[in-house]
């Protein structure tokens, strides 16, 4: 069952020794979408963002995803925003989500992910972007046919553009399409699912991890450190343990071939202490 988790760890305390999941949203239950809101500043605003649509969700029940489509306007310019909860973020936090449009669509779509770098909270208007001036990601910026993912595709962004330290602010998903609407050539519709923000906890790294490195290649997680490692545990984004492997050397590999594509949380133990990091398996 998908659910939102705000400012709380989704795993055991040892899992978040160096990381915490700030948001893990699957859009399963509208009643749990606390502090989300929408702003539609299209030329002739019409339909709002909704849940579900013509294709199945990335995970969870079939209609558990956020969606916007051509009916956001009765005119021709779509500019509608889905604003996320007010929480504490910092540069270096990792944002990920899945998005797609309909297979074979000939009506191009565009999506932006923006952040309010000041936390002022000024909403977008028909003539400006409000406080959401920092563009983190643009998908299909030129509105090319076939330029938007036609199957669920993972997007991963590292937050930048914020002041030092923690800023209490919001993200905005902007569905922005020109020559769209009921009579335009563009704007079929898009879905957003499994929106996650993973924030590293500020603090000193343990000396055991001073020269720690990792990367994923050819279905293997490769990890190395200056001293022998002890154990590594992997969890999926639902908090389920999927791999637990004992380690004995400075350089080790973990076979990921049995896992589905997606984001996983790994916790590595060295010299009695742990470090948590996120990996992506394609």
The tens digit of pLDDT for each residue in 179-231 reads 999 999 999 999 999 999 987 554 434 567 778 899 999 899 999 998 899 99
3-state helix vs strand vs coil in the chain, percent to 5? 5, 40, 55
Q: What is the pLDDT of residues 78-108, one digit of tens each?
A: 999 999 998 888 888 889 999 999 999 999 9
Q: Which tokens is 126 given?
A: 């028909």
Chain CA centroid to CA 225, Å: 29
Phi, psi of 274 (to 5 degrees): -130, 155
At residue 267, does pLDDT exceed 60? yes
Helix (H/G/I), strand (E/B), else coil: 65? coil
Could you tell me which residues come within 8 angstroms of residue 277 by beta carbon, excluding any fewer than 6 positions away? 18, 19, 214, 265, 266, 268
Interacting residues of 157 by C-beta distance below 8 A, sequence separation 6+: 94, 95, 96, 113, 136, 137
Gap between the Cα atoms of 200 and 265, Å rounded: 12
| Confidence (pTM) | 0.68
Q: Is 165 or 163 the better-scoring residue by pLDDT?
A: 163
pLDDT of residue 21: 78
Other Cβ atoms within 10 Å of 179 Cβ, number: 15
Tokens of 93: 């936090």
pLDDT at 271 over 80: no
Please report the pLDDT score of residue 200 as a whole number: 58
2 and 41 in contact (C-beta within 8 Å)?
A: no
Distance CA 218, CA 158 (A): 23
| The pLDDT of residue 122 is above 90 | yes
| Per-residue pLDDT at 163 | 85
Ranges of H-type helices in 35-79? none
Contact 263, 196 (CB under 8 A): yes
Task: Specify the pLDDT at position 19.
Answer: 53
Give Cβ neighbours of residue 185 (< 8 Å, ≥ 6 apart): 107, 179
Residue for token pair 């800023």: 167
Complete DSSP assignment for 234-250: EEETTS-EEEEEE--SS
């Amino acid at each position: 069952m998908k659910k939102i988790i705000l400012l709380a760890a989704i795993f055991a305390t040892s899992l978040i020794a160096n990381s915490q999941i700030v948001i893990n949203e699957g859009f399963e239950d509208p009643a749990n979408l606390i502090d989300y809101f929408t702003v539609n500043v299209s030329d002739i605003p019409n339909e709002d963002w909704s849940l579900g649509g013509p294709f199945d969700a990335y995970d969870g029940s079939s209609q558990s995803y956020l969606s916007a489509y051509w009916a956001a306007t009765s005119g021709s310019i779509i500019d509608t925003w889905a604003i996320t909860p007010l929480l504490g973020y910092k540069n270096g936090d990792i944002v990920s989500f899945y998005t797609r449009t309909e297979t074979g669509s000939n009506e191009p779509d565009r999506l932006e992910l923006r952040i309010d770098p000041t936390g002022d909270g000024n909403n977008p208007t028909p003539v400006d972007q409000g406080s959401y001036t920092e563009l983190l990601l643009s998908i299909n910026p030129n509105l090319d046919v076939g330029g938007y993912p036609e199957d669920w595709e993972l997007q991963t962004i590292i937050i930048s553009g914020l002041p030092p330290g923690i800023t209490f602010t919001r993200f905005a998903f902007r569905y922005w399409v020109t020559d769209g609407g009921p009579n335009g050539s563009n704007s079929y519709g898009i879905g957003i699912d499994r929106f996650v923000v993973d924030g590293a906890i500020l603090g000193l790294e343990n000396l055991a991890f001073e020269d720690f490195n990792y990367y994923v290649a050819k279905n293997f997680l490769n990890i190395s450190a200056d001293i022998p490692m002890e154990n590594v545990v992997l969890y999926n984004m639902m908090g389920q343990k999927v791999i637990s492997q004992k380690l004995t050397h400075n350089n080790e590999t973990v076979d990921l071939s049995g896992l589905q594509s997606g984001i996983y949380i790994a916790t590595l133990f060295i010299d009695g202490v742990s470090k948590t990091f996120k990996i992506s398996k394609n």
